[in-house]
Chain A
Amino acid sequence: MPLSLLKYGLRARHVSFRDIPSTPELKRSYDVVIIGGGGHGLAAAYYLSNVHGIRNVAVLEKGYLAGGNTARNTTTIRSNYMTEESVRFYKEGVELFETMSRDLGFNVMFSQRGQLTLAHSEATMRSFHLRAEMGKHMGTRIEVADVQTVKALCPHLNLDLGGQHEVMGGLWHADGGTARHDAVAWGYAKHASRRGVEIHQRTEVTGFELAGGRVTHVRTNRGTIAAGQVLQAVGGLNGQVAAMAGIRLPIRCFPLQAMVTQPLKPFLDILVSSANLHTYLVQSSRGEVVIGGGSDPYQLASTRSTLDQKEHLAEGALHLFPFLHKVKLLRQWAGITDMTPDYSPIMGASPLRNYWLDCGWGTWGFKATPVAGKRMAETIATGRVPDVLQPFDLRRFDSFALLNEMGATAASH
C-alpha cells in the first residue's frame, strides 16, 4: 500500500474520479424505484444491485443525498432493546456495522466503544435486568452494572447528582458504538451507482398512478416514470408520501433536537445515556461532545431549534458532567422524527402489492441503516417478507400485536 501510494503521488497525471455520479436524465421505466435518498434507501439500493443483481434501480431524493435524518441523527449504534423481535433485528444491524468499512472499502469510522445507560431509580434497574437477560438470551454483550462498575467505566461521571436521583447502576452494552453517518450513506451510494443504480437528487415525488392494487407509475417534478416495485423510506415525510399512495400510517411527527459543544481533549471513551434525564452524550473523534435527544413536547414538522430544548439537554448533561458548565455550544439542529405508537418501525408490505414500506423510524433509525436496507432489498428481490421483519408489519396495529420499545430509548418522548 505505501509503495503504490508513493507511485501514485509521483505520477504526473492523476485521473480524477467521483464516488457518486451527478444526477442523470430520468429513464421511462425502472424495475425498482426507491423513494428517499437517505441511508436506508441507499443501503437497499446497494443490496439490490450488489447482492440480488437488480440494477435497473432509481433512487429519488427530494433534496440532496443523505441530507435528512441521516445527516441529523446522533449516530448511536446498539441492540439493547426490550423485546426478542427487536433485539434479533438490531443485533443483525450491529454485526453489519462491524464489517462495513471492509465490505464497502469506505471508512465509516465505526467505533465500538460500548454504551452505558444509567438508572436513577429502582424501577429503571428492574427494566435493565429485563433488557440484560433478553440481550444475553439473544447473544448480545450486555450486563447490569453496579455503581462501582459504572464508576470504573466512566470515572468522570457525577454519581450523586447533588443528592437527587443519584445513579443507582447502569446497563453496560459492550456492542454499542458510533459510526460516521455521512460515510455510511456515501459508501452505499458509491457501490450502488457502480453497479448501475441511478441516484436522482432534487427529484421530488408528487404522486402515484395506481391500477389493480398496484403502483404503475411514480410522478415526480422531473417527469413520470414506470415502476416495477416501489420502496418508500422518506423519514419525516413518510406519512405524507404514503398518503399520496392512499396508505394511512400510524405516525405522528415530532422534531428531535441535538447539539454539539466545542472540541475538548478526549475524556469520554464510551457512550453515556440516562433514561431518566432524557439525555445522552458521546464525544466524537473531533473531540466535540454530542448531546442528544430532546423531542419537542408537541407535534411539528419543522427542523427549527428551540432554547427550551437546549436548556433541557444542557441540564441533563451538567447533572452528569458538571465540569462542562463553561463549554460553548458550536451547533444545534433538529430532525423530523416519524413516531409510531409502539416506538418500533414499520417494515414490509403495504396494502398495495408492489409498494414496500420502510417507515416509522422515529428516533431510532440510523443504527438500522444496514440491516433495514439488506432485509428490504431481500423482500423486494424475493417478494417475500423475511421472518426477521414479520413482527414489524403495518398490520400489527390491527391485531394489537404491538412491539413496545418506549423504555428502550434515551430520547425523551
Chain B
Amino acid sequence: MKLLTCPVNGPRNITEFQYLGPVREASTEQPEQLIEGLFYAENPLGVMREWWRHTPSNTVLIAERHTVSDEIVATYLPNRKPA
C-alpha cells in the first residue's frame, strides 16, 4: 500500500485520501482566465503541487508529487509550506 503523509495524522494509506487535483495557476473567478481555469489544468511531467484531503479527519493539504515516478516529495498544510 502506498503511503501519503498527512501533516496532522502522519503517514496513512493513500486510499484514505481524496485527490482534489492540481493547484491551479489560473483562477475561474477572473473572467479572462475562465477557460484556462476550467479546462486547461496543469499536466506536467515532473513535480506538481496538488490538493489532497484526508477523508476521515477532513484535513485538506498540499502534496508535491512527481507525476512520472509517483514519488511524494513533500506534504504540508496550505499556506504553511516549510522553508
Contacts and interface: CB of A to CB of B under 8 A. Distances in A.
A and B, one complex?
A: yes
Interface string B7-45: 000000011001101100000000000010011110101
A240 B70 contact: no
Q: Does more than half of chain B's interface fall in helix, strand or loop, or is it mixed?
A: mixed
A1 interface: no
B68 interface: yes
Contacts of A250: 39-41
A253 B1 contact: no
Interface string A200-216: 00000000000000000
Contact of A299 (B18, B22, B39): B22
Interface string A242-281: 0000001111110000000000000000000000000000
B68 A299 contact: no
A299 B38 contact: no
Contacts of B40: 248-250, 397
Contact of B38 (A239, A253, A341): A341
B22 A397 contact: no
Interface of B: 1-2, 14-15, 18-19, 21-22, 35, 38-41, 43, 45, 48, 50, 65, 67-70
B1 A307 contact: yes
A267 to B, nearest CB: 32
A308 B2 CA distance: 9
A308 B48 CA distance: 22
Contact of A297 (B19, B35, B41, B65): B19
Contacts of A240: 45
Contacts of B38: 341, 397
A250 B39 CA distance: 6
A397 B19 contact: no
A308 B17 CA distance: 13
A302 interface: yes
A325 to B, nearest CB: 22
B35 A301 contact: no
27 contacts: A240-B45, A249-B40, A251-B43, A252-B41, A252-B43, A297-B18, A297-B19, A299-B19, A299-B22, A299-B43, A299-B48, A299-B50, A301-B67, A301-B68, A302-B67, A302-B68, A302-B70, A304-B70, A306-B2, A307-B1, A308-B14, A341-B38, A341-B39, A397-B35, A397-B38, A397-B40, A398-B35
